[in-house]
Structure 1
């Protein structure tokens, strides 16, 4: 079964290790086969990974796109250790990400890492309020 993708004008998508950028018109295409896929709204870069949780997300994103978790383990676990030292209440979220990585479900791990970034933003917002 093919995956149907619609891109807005100038929207980007990563398929495998290739970045595709749409031209100036909306487009629909179908992807047949298996490759890691990320839409532009889910892509972080080194420049946009501007918080500890976003850096964890970026690490998981690289694992997902490369399909090579071992290559990023050292960086990932260092980031996680530092994050948990600052926010121990995030342990259940981090445990979920870890379990998904270990089970090889990197796309779901990426979604769980997004929840961690959302949680971090919530913690920061609460701290700024009082």
Structure 2
């Protein structure tokens, strides 16, 4: 059996199987069996879920850190995922979302969160491009009116 060690700083939190653990000093935890956990710096706050992938991440995160709400979160996940697959044309994101779907179906919620985080740069690039296009559109329209 393999073990997993994580080191935490003083006052850092870790979410383990739905429990929030806060340390008062630097500590190393060793998990001797399978455990679902999330480090504090990977926890997304509700107000940070401002893009489609971050909303999906927040939904999957609920499955991990709030087991009592996991069924509701899974239902929401099953509603969100097909919409995202239709909305995104980027093949890297689409492939990643399909992998996330498999991971969640197999109970590998932590790995699904890692996969979603890995998709953030591609989503950020798309969002930046869309913002740039939206800013340039009025200028192009005005230039067309003056011509």
Instruction: Tell me if both proteins adopt one fold, taking TM over 0.5 as the criterion.
Output: yes
How far apart, CA to CA, are the structure 2 residues paired with 1:95 and 1:9?
Answer: 38
How far apart, CA to CA, are the structure 2 residues paired with 1:101 and 1:95?
Answer: 10
TM-score normalised by the chain length of structure 2: 0.70
Is the 1:9–1:26 contact (alpha carbons within 8 Å) kept by the matching residues of 2? yes
Total equivalences in the alignment:
129
Is the 1:53–1:120 contact (alpha carbons within 8 Å) kept by the matching residues of 2? yes
Residue 88 of structure 1 is matched in structure 2 by 89
| Structure 1 range deviating more: 61-70 or 112-121 | 61-70
Runs ≥4 in structure 1, deviation > 6 angstroms?
A: none
Alignment partner of 1:114 out of 112, 117, 120: 117
Unaligned runs of 5+ in 1: none
How far apart, CA to CA, are the structure 2 residues paired with 1:47 and 1:8?
Answer: 25
| Structure 1 range deviating more: 60-69 or 99-108 | 60-69
How far apart, CA to CA, are the structure 1 residues paired with 2:89 and 2:70?
Answer: 24
**Shift in Å at residue 129 of structure 1?**
4.5
Greater share of residues in helix: 2
**Shift in Å at residue 100 of structure 1?**
1.7
Unaligned runs of 5+ in 2: 134-147
Whose radius of gyration is greater, 1 or 2?
A: 2
How far apart, CA to CA, are the structure 1 residues paired with 2:108 and 2:69?
Answer: 12
Residue 54 of structure 1 is matched in structure 2 by 54
- Which runs of structure 2 are paired with 1:1-130 in the superposition (5 Å)? 1-23=2-24, 25-65=25-65, 66=67, 70-89=71-90, 90-130=93-133
Question: How large is the Cα RMSD of the aligned pairs?
Answer: 2.6
How far apart, CA to CA, are the structure 2 residues paired with 1:95 and 1:68?
Answer: 23
TM-score normalised by the chain length of structure 1: 0.78
Is the 1:60–1:113 contact (alpha carbons within 8 Å) kept by the matching residues of 2? no
SS at match of 2:47: coil
